[in-house]
Structure 1
Amino acid sequence: MPTAPTPFPLLSTDRLDLIEIKDTHAADLLRLFTNPEVTAFYNVVPLHTTADTLRIIGMFRERQREEAAIRWGIALKGQQEMIGTIGFNSYTKGRKGVIVYALEPAYWGKGFITEALTAVLAYGFHTLAVNRIEAEVMPGNVASEKVLEKSGFLHEGLLRQWLYWEGKWYNINMYALLQADFSTRHTA
């Protein structure tokens, strides 16, 4: 017998609401993932139309229903317009998750991703009970590396030809944060 769907977990911080990405956010997502500054270090399925974006939103919903991934829209407090996304591209409850995030350039350098990341990490470690959260960062994405290091992630090394995307191999820097390290940082 199927279980009743659970409500999407809304999160909030001092300045942000982490919201469910709905069909009404298609234009926001299209704007975000067609910006070359955003996608310079972010391999994303090419989006050209609202229909493309609606398929991605449907995929987000399906992966969340399957308890395989969860993605939040990032909105300024009290607003519904998305300025970015954050979440687990994949996770296995009780084991590990892989974090991803993207933010519109107008909001870079203001601490928004670090703030959103802290809330999502807490959700991952406490609600999903993962022990390890990984972040795969393309070499050259210095801003993302700084966010991760500020959040307690450790650089574990370069994974050579780790990612194959659109006919090309990419090296990836692996960052990781363990639940014990997060708890130590956030109970002191």
Structure 2
Amino acid sequence: MVNRMKNKLKIKNQYKINFKKISNNDLKQIKDWRNLNKIREFTYQYTLLNTKTQNAWYSSLKKSDEKIMFLILNESHPIGTCGFVHYDKLNKSADVSIFIGDKNFHGKGIGTIILQKLIKYGFIKLNLHRIGAEIFEYNLISVKLFEKASFKKEATLRQSLWRHNKWWNVYVYSIINPGFTHNL
């Protein structure tokens, strides 16, 4: 147990993970990451992106009150994107979105750091009551990550995703803000 704690501290100290608002200058890198097979297979948008579709996404991001997205940085080096989609101010809920595009940062425990930062941001800055996630059945790494972060499996959307020539389930997970108080 003590060794696990030391390893977690090493991970947190080894990387300097921060978020920044996505800018127009980040779009080419994000598009290139999103078009990687290892990223695309875990997103609903399965088709390849081009500059036009990426610019349309960015334009909708700037206009939308339902999306809050960030570029993930390790120090000043971009490594992926994360944020909230389906942000509902009235019901104080949002779904989380994370992808680490830089393959040099896969399997390093960075997803844990990013998810912890997003939970804190969602519960403290956005005053969310609920943070949700939809995870594809074959994405076992994300299932493990979210369960480790105390997300609870709420539902299974049976055979709702067609990938790799077969139907897959999509799991719905959420975490509720334990300190949430609703001002009436």
Task: Sort the Cα spacing of 1:45 and 1:54 in 2 relative to 1 into closer, same or farther, 3 A.
Answer: farther
Equivalent in the alignment of 1:155: 153
What's the CA shift for 1:46? 3.2
Unaligned runs of 5+ in 2: 1-12, 180-184
Contact 1:32–1:83 under 8 Å retained in 2:
no
Name 1:186's counterpart in structure 2: none
Q: CA RMSD in A?
A: 2.4
Does residue 97 of the first structure (1) align with residue 94 of the second (2)? yes
Identity of aligned residues (%): 25
Q: Shift in Å at residue 34 of structure 1?
A: 0.3
Distance in 2 (CA, whole Å) between partners of 1:138 and 1:40 is: 9
Q: TM-score, normalised by structure 1?
A: 0.76
Q: Measure, in 1, the Cα distance between the counterparts of 2:161 and 2:61.
A: 21
- Rounded Cα–Cα distance in structure 1 between residues aligned with 2:169 and 2:31: 27
The answer as to 2:25 corresponding to 1:24 is yes
| Secondary structure in 2 matching 1:42 | coil
Q: 1:89 and 1:48 mapped to 2: Cα distance?
A: 19
CA distance in 2, matches of 1:36, 1:78: 25
Paired residues of 1:86 and 1:101 also in contact (CA < 8 A): yes
Q: Corresponding residue for 1:36?
A: 37
| CA positional deviation for 1:15 | 1.3
Task: Give the alignment partner of residue 140 of structure 2, picking from 103, 121, 142.
Answer: 142
- Going from structure 1 to structure 2, the CA distance change for 1:164 and 1:130 (only over 3 Å counts) comes to farther
In 1: Cα distance, 2:159 partner to 2:128 partner: 26
Match of 1:132 among 130, 133, 140: 130
Tell me how far apart the structure 1 counterparts of residues 46 and 70 of structure 2 sit (CA, whole Å).
18
For residues 61-104 of structure 1, the C-alpha deviation after alignment (integer angstroms, 9 at most, x for no partner) is 112xxx2120111111133xx32111111111252111111112
Aligned length: 162
Contact 2:95 2:131 in 1 (8 A): yes
Which structure 1 segments of 5+ residues have no match? 1-12, 184-188
Distance 1:60 1:41 in 2: 20
Contact 1:28 1:83 (8 Å CA) reproduced:
no
Aligned to 2:55: 54
Contact 1:136 1:174 (C-alpha < 8 Å) held by counterparts: yes
* Residues 19 and 73 in structure 1, CA contact (< 8 A), matched pair in contact too: yes
Amino acid across the alignment from 2:132: E
